[in-house]
Structure 1
Amino acid sequence: MKIGYRSLYVTAGVFVCLLISFTACLTTAAAAPSSAFYHKFEPPTLPPVITLFGNTPLYPEPDDSAGASATLTPQDVETVEAEQDWYITPQNGDLGKRWIKIKTTWLGEMWIHLDYERIGTLKPADTNIALIWSAALYSEPLKAALTDVVLSPQTVHCNAIFITPGGGSAYRIETSWLGDQWLVSPNYILLDMEILNHEMTLPTETLRMEDWDTVHRIQSPSEAHFIPPQTVFALEKTVNGEYHVRTEDGNTFWINPAYAQPVGAQEIDETIALSKNTLVHLVPTASHPIFGALTAQKVKAFQQWDAPDGTRWYRIHSWNGDLWILPDH
């Protein structure tokens, strides 16, 4: 009996040791982050040049209690260094100012005490910005400089961009009654719009979009609304090829020539045998949207279109509407 108990104790001891060892392995594995998910934080680099928008006091040391030695007028200045953690967004109780050492031509290296939001560089620009939503105007590229003016959706000209080390941007735009004003972190804009102002012919049925990106939100063919061939007035164009247009009756909306029925489609009455699952497309000239797939079967086609790459597309009447297929692909 004593031997039996001893064997039991030894077995239990071994089990406990193994359990402790296994638990330690799990703890170590959990404590060590995977390199696939762990990224070392890299603070932003202090801009080599920053733009001063107002008169800025100069100090020999990062201490404003002794008073300023001189004052700089608005200009670009070359930076040397900054206080530790200058890049951290101000928190509660933080005055939001940061000490930055700069170079001057007559006093050598001096310190300035800047609001966190004023640390950045002004870059000249010559581009048009479409305001998709209403946007507030600011007198400076600072959230604290909010005015009571709000612009309705429209396209404006931008002549400069203020870029902060954290990647934020403010856009200086031209207005006819207030002069230059700022858009600070606007909600919904399109950059680099091309102003057109000319007539545009739509040779086939074309998808009408209420917004420039409507096609990306279409969930079913019933949500796609095509307008008949016509001539419209093209107002502007995005970098991705969407056009903001106006019809003769004054309605404005968006189109993209890629989302139109193809030019040169021929009327047919053929039965097409599908040998495998076949994707169903809204139009053959764009890779999306796609509305499911047809299984191997025979379908009736009423139009065909030969694409420039030599493939032949067929338009069919489906339970989901009139859509396009590309058999055997």
Structure 2
Amino acid sequence: MQFKTRISHVIALVSVLSITLISTLQATAASPPRKEFLPPTIPPVITLLEQTSLYVTTDESRKPFAALTPQDVTTIEAEQDWYTKQRGEKVWIKINTTWAGDLWMHLDYDRIGIVKPLDTNIALLWDSYLYTQPSLSTRTDAVLAPQTVHANAIFESPASYLTNSYRIETSWLGDMWVVSQSQMLLNMEIVNQEMDLPTDTLYMENYDTSNRLQRPSDVKMIPPQKVFALEKTENGVYHVRSQDGNTFWIQPEYAEPVGSETINERLTLLKDVRLYLFPTMPFPTFGVLSAQTVDAFERWIDPQGERWYHIHTWAGDMWVQPDKPL
């Protein structure tokens, strides 16, 4: 009887240990590895945008030891949790000077950053307020209408709301800043020359109109003509002016292909195919055409030797590639 009791106790103990071990393993497997939080460091170099007082200690009630004119300074450290500050708050930052050793400055959070030289053209797509410095508190009443401007500097700041802050050149106010302006295109290439559109071309009211087409009825075409190309984006989209003075955007590839052949041919589609507005415009597509026989009125062979056919569909005139079914 005692032997049976001992066996029961052993079995119970083993069961408890097994359950504990399984629970531990499950908890360990379910818990994702913790990532250690690494607080951001203060930028190693900061551009002082205006005359800045320097202190021996972090006490602004004391008389400043000295003051620095606008210049780049080397930082040593900053007060704890400086990166949690909000707009309008100040941060104590220790900097190194060659003439007085390490000193402290009490800097507005949105003035922490460095001005770096730049040489690029920026297209401002919306009305943009002008600022005297790369700080939201320095906004003026001057507003710049949408246009392309030359930028000669950028302000790199840990404050996310100061992203896209550039110093630009104006003819009437000199150098000014655009701050936190997200509606802009960088690295624009100035073209200023005539451009020939040999075939019907997609008209784009905005530089990204082609990405937002949802249905064939949204498509607007312009007939063959000469336009004046003002500028070009990094992706090859041109901002142009027509002979009647209207300005719009075009992508030269988003047009009816040059060298197509007029035909009158019954075309048998053996499998489903996609419908394209142009052979050279891979996105967006406008639906799928099931296997059937259609009337093709135009044929084009692309540089890779592949055949494209222009057909009438429920979605309007579309291009298909029978040799490349879905």
**Residue in structure 2 matched with residue 45 of structure 1 by the alignment:** 41
Kindly provide the amino acid, as one letter, of the partner of residue 223 in structure 1: D
Q: Report if aligned partners of 2:299, 2:307 keep a CA contact under 8 Å in 1.
A: yes
The CA distance in 2 between the partners of 1:33 and 1:293, in whole Å, is 46
Quote the residue 2:128 is aligned against.
Answer: 135
The alpha carbon displacement at 1:31 in A equals 12
Considering only aligned residues, what root-mean-square deviation do their CA atoms show, in Å?
A: 2.4
Cα offsets for 1:20-41 (capped at 9, x unmatched): x8xx97xx86996646xx8665
Q: Quote the residue 1:152 is aligned against.
A: 145
CA distance in 2, matches of 1:166, 1:118: 9
For residue 95 of structure 2, the aligned residue among 99, 102, 115 is: 102
The answer as to whether partners of 2:308 and 2:319 remain within 8 angstroms in 1 is yes
- In structure 2, the gaps of 5 or more residues are 1-15
Change (3 A) 1:189 1:39: farther
Using the TM superposition, give the Cα deviation of residue 187 of structure 1 relative to its aligned residue in structure 2, in angstroms. 3.6
Residue 268 and residue 149 in structure 1: after superposition, are their counterparts in 2 closer, same or farther (change >3 A)?
same
| Residue 61, structure 1, aligned to residue 54, structure 2 | no
2:255 partner letter: A
Tell me which residue corresponds to 2:303.
Answer: 308
Check whether the contact 1:133–1:187 (CA below 8 A) recurs between aligned residues: no
**Mapping for residues 186-201 of structure 1, pairs under 5 Å:** 186-201=181-196
How many residue pairs match? The answer is 305
CA separation in 2, counterparts of 1:199 and 1:89? 52
Gap change, CA 1:33 and 1:175, over 3 Å in 2: farther
Q: Secondary structure at the residue paired with 1:144? A: helix
| Distance (Å, rounded) in 1 between the aligned partners of 2:29 and 2:154 | 44
User: Is the CA contact 1:276–1:328 (under 8 Å) kept in the aligned structure 2?
Assistant: no
For residues 46 and 34 of structure 1, what CA distance do their matches in structure 2 show?
Answer: 30
TM-score (norm 2): 0.87
Deviation at 1:199, TM superposition (A): 0.3
CA deviation map 1:303-322 (0-9, x unaligned): 11111112111111101101
Matched, 1:122 2:118: no
SS at match of 1:99: strand
SS of aligned partner of 2:61: coil
**Pick aligned residue for 1:283 from 278, 282, 298:** 278
CA distance in structure 2 between the aligned counterparts of 1:313 and 1:39, rounded to whole angstroms: 53
Per the TM alignment, residue 271 of structure 1 is displaced from its structure 2 partner at its CA by 1.8
**Does the C-alpha gap of structure 1 residues 112 and 169 become closer, same or farther in structure 2, counting only changes over 3 Å?**
farther
Pair 1:221 & 2:216 matched: yes
Gap change, CA 1:262 and 1:125, over 3 Å in 2: same
CA shift, 1:110, in A, is: 1.2
Look up the match of 1:82: 78
Supply the distance in 2 between the matched residues of 1:146 and 1:102 (Cα, whole angstroms).
Answer: 28
Q: Is the 8 A contact 2:85 2:91 kept in 1?
A: no
- In the TM superposition, residue 292 of structure 1 has moved relative to its aligned partner by 1.1
CA distance in 2, matches of 1:131, 1:214: 17
CA separation of 1:198 and 1:115: change in aligned 2, threshold 3 A: same
Q: 1:3-14 maps to which residues of 2 (within 5 A)?
A: none
Structure 1 residues without counterparts, runs of 5 or longer: 1-17
Matched, 1:273 2:268: yes
* Matches of 1:293 and 1:187, distance apart in 2: 36
User: 1:231 aligns to what?
Assistant: 226
Distance apart, 1:45 and its partner CA: 3.0
Is 1:243 equivalent to 2:231 in the alignment? no
Q: When the two structures are superposed, what TM-score results if normalisation uses the length of structure 1? A: 0.86
Task: Note closer, same or farther for the CA distance 1:272–1:42 as it changes in structure 2 (3 Å cut).
Answer: farther
Match of 2:9 in 1: none
1:162 matches 2:162: no
Cα contact 1:275–1:328 (8 A) shared by 2: no
Provide the C-alpha distance between the structure 2 equivalents of 1:185 and 1:30, rounded to a whole number of angstroms: 45
Give the corresponding residue for 1:13.
none
Partners of 1:41 and 1:151 in 2: how far apart? 42
How far did residue 276 of structure 1 move? 1.6
SS at match of 1:87: helix
The whole-number CA distance in structure 1 between the counterparts of 2:137 and 2:38 is 28
Post-superposition CA distance 1:75-131 (Å, at most 9, x none) = 00111111111112417xxx6100111111101111111000000010101111111
What's the offset of the Cα at 1:157? 1.1
Identity %: 56
